[in-house]
Each structure stands twice: as C-alpha cells, then as structure tokens.
Amino acid sequence: MFVNDPVIIVGAGLSGLRTASLLTAQGIKCSVLEARGRIGGRVLSKEVAERPDLGRFDLGPTWFWPRYERTITKLVKELGLETFDQYNKGLMLFERSRNEPAQQYVMPEGNVERSVRFIGGVQSLIDAVAATLPTGTIQLNTQVTSIRQEGNGNITLEADGIRDSIRASAVIITLPPRVVARNITFRPELSPDLKTSLVNKPTWMAAQAKAVAVYDRPFWREIGLSGLVSSWVGPLQEIQDASPDAGAGALFGFFGMPAKTRQELGKEKVLKLVVEQLTRLFGPSAANMKALLYKDWSSDPDTAVAEDAEPLRDYPSYGPPVGLESWGKKIIFAGTETAYEQGGHLEGALRSAERAVSELVEL
C-alpha cells in the first residue's frame, strides 16, 4: 500500500482547502489538486481593474447566517476575520411591471434574518484557510481526469497537464458531484447506483449569474433606499446592496432570466439590460458606474454541467453519495452538496470537510 503517499484532495474550493487544513493540523500529509488557475472554486471576490482601492466584490457567495451556521461562525472567529452586517436600512423596491414605477416598501423591523459579510469579500476566508497550509500543498491548473484503484489496493490519479500519474494513500473528492460524474473516469467503474446518486445532486447556484455594479459611493442610501429590490420584470430578480463596509458603493443582482436566455443573448446584451433596469429603479446616477462585473456560473465547466442550466424547483436532497463500498473507503466524497445539513452553503462545504476528515481518520 502507498501508506507513505499523501492523501490527495481533489478541488481547492472552501471544502477542499478546509479538508487540507484539518488533515495538516493532525499531521497527515496531503496535497490539493485544482483544475483552475486560482483557489476558491465558487468563491470569487474580484477587484475592479486599475481601481483596487474600491474594494473586492463577490461574484460567488456573499453571506453567512450566524444564527444557523455554527461551523463557519466559529471558524471566522478562530481565523480572526473581520466581518460586517448586510446593509438593509431604508426602503425596499418592488418592480411589478415595466409600465408602472416600482413600489416602495418599509421593511418591518426584525423581519430580515441577520446575514454577515466579509471585509475583502469571501475570498478573505479562502485566503485565510489556504494560509494554514504548508507551501506547495496546492497544485493549480491540474484537472483530475481519472482515479484508479489497482488490484493491490493502491490508488493512482491522472490529471491534465501532469505527465506522471499521482499516487495517493486515499482520495477526498470535493467537486460538485455532477462535475465528478461528467469529468472523472474511475477504475473500477462506479456502480450505477453511485453514478445516479452523483447526478441527482444538482450543483447549488450553478444555474445562476451575478452582476455587480460598482459606484464611488452608495448613492441610493442618500435617498432612503436600502438597495433591496424584488423584480418581476428583470433581468435581475433580486438586487441587494453589495457595498464594501466603507467607501465605494455597489449593487449586486441575481438573475430571473434563465441561464439559456443569458447564453443566447450573450454578455454584452445581458449587461445592457442590467444597466437599463438599475437606471429605471435607482435613477440616472445608476448609469454612472465605475465598473459592471459579471460572472455566469452556468457556463463555467468547473462548476456546472449542461443539466444545471435548468433552475432548481425544490431544495435538492444533499448528503454523501451512496454505493462506494467496493473502494474500501479509499475514496471519500466531500464538497457542499455532500453535507447532511446546510448543503449548498459555505457552511455545508465546511461541515462536509469535517465529516470527510473524521471518516478518513477512523479508517
């Protein structure tokens, strides 16, 4: 057995990085292989090119909810990360139809669940977890394509861009399950039950896109607006204040426009509609943006598969996939979609990492 070989973690999203951090803390040698040229996976906090002074803006996740999410709340404290509450003071707008002005609503006190943001964006969490790892633990631009268990139990991986195969004492896979089913070949083959189990775990938010409009100040607050909008007109269905804790202003929106329509229209036309909507809702100042950032997750093959273009109708049934027995626990699945609780969220990604590490250590 390759007992002296590292545990290989596939994927350097929050789940993979936390898994590596927990193993390292227990003195277990590990290595993280990541397909993209960056760490973070669905976490993506971007600066405006040539204006880093404006701050970092989240194009993936934004919040955590301390009331329900104890694991991330504890980790944030442990890592000493700075956070602030989502801004929601002032009036909310409701856009019912294109032919009438948006209606204004007073948000009832205490009606909104407290959601918390990171100073510097969620990337601050990713960077802090990655900083707990020994140099050289993470290998970027390494897309795993196959995982093979030999007759004697040894495990080897193949990856694009790597000539030699990589030996592992065990493998922890932290990718969205559908991406595993589509992109990784297993020898021996996964059982039909396991494949079905993977395909039946749609990737959380993979059908979504985010647009973030950046301004030199949050001007809507000056006229008593919270930045919160609910729209039946679109293309953005939900808009929120995404300003950093101080200085610049920003509004971000989730799309009501389906992934297929966005892909057919193309980025330029989609963003033109976004600017029209923001101007309709917040007045001419909204057109005067410093930047308009955009990320469509549905067309990113490291997150989404074609089936993910369909919006989710119900909350999916997440949890670890079933049917891995033939691998003798040499392969463990983590990643937010495999969490028993808070699957889909950052919290789920962390909980899945804890479960995977305890399963490995129990072997």
Ligand X SMILES: Cc1cc2nc3c(=O)[nH]c(=O)nc-3n(C[C@H](O)[C@H](O)[C@H](O)COP(=O)(O)OP(=O)(O)OC[C@H]3O[C@@H](n4cnc5c(N)ncnc54)[C@H](O)[C@@H]3O)c2cc1C
**Site for ligand X, rule CB under 6 A:** 10-16, 33-36, 41-43, 60-64, 143-144, 174-176, 179, 183-184, 204-205, 208, 210, 297, 302-303, 335-336, 344-349
Residue 112 C-beta: closest distance to ligand X, Å = 14
Q: Render 2-17 in DSSP notation, one character per residue.
A: -TTSPEEEE--BHHHH
| Selection from 38, 307, 328, 327 nearest residue 188 by Cα | 327
Residue 241 C-beta: closest distance to ligand X, Å = 14
- Nearer to ligand X by Cβ, of 141 and 285: the residue is 141
- Nearer to ligand X by Cβ, of 71 and 169: the residue is 71
| Selection from 207, 211, 150, 206 nearest residue 175 by Cα | 206
- Nearer to ligand X by Cβ, of 204 and 327: the residue is 204
Measure Cα distances from 284 to 276, 288, 289 in Å: 10, 7, 10
CA-based radius of gyration for the chain: 22
Residue 195 C-beta: closest distance to ligand X, Å = 16
Q: What angle do CA 246, 44, 49 make, to 5 degrees?
A: 65
DSSP letter at 40 equals: B
Residue 104 C-beta: closest distance to ligand X, Å = 25
Q: Render 227-266 in DSSP notation, one character per residue.
A: EEEEESS-SEEEEEE---SSS-EEEEEEE-S-HHHHHHH-
Residue 20 C-beta: closest distance to ligand X, Å = 11
Helices 14-25 & 346-362 angle (0-180, nearest 10): 40
CB atoms within 10 A of CB 296: 19
- Nearer to ligand X by Cβ, of 225 and 350: the residue is 350
- Nearer to ligand X by Cβ, of 324 and 346: the residue is 346
Residue 335 C-beta: closest distance to ligand X, Å = 4
- Nearer to ligand X by Cβ, of 76 and 175: the residue is 175
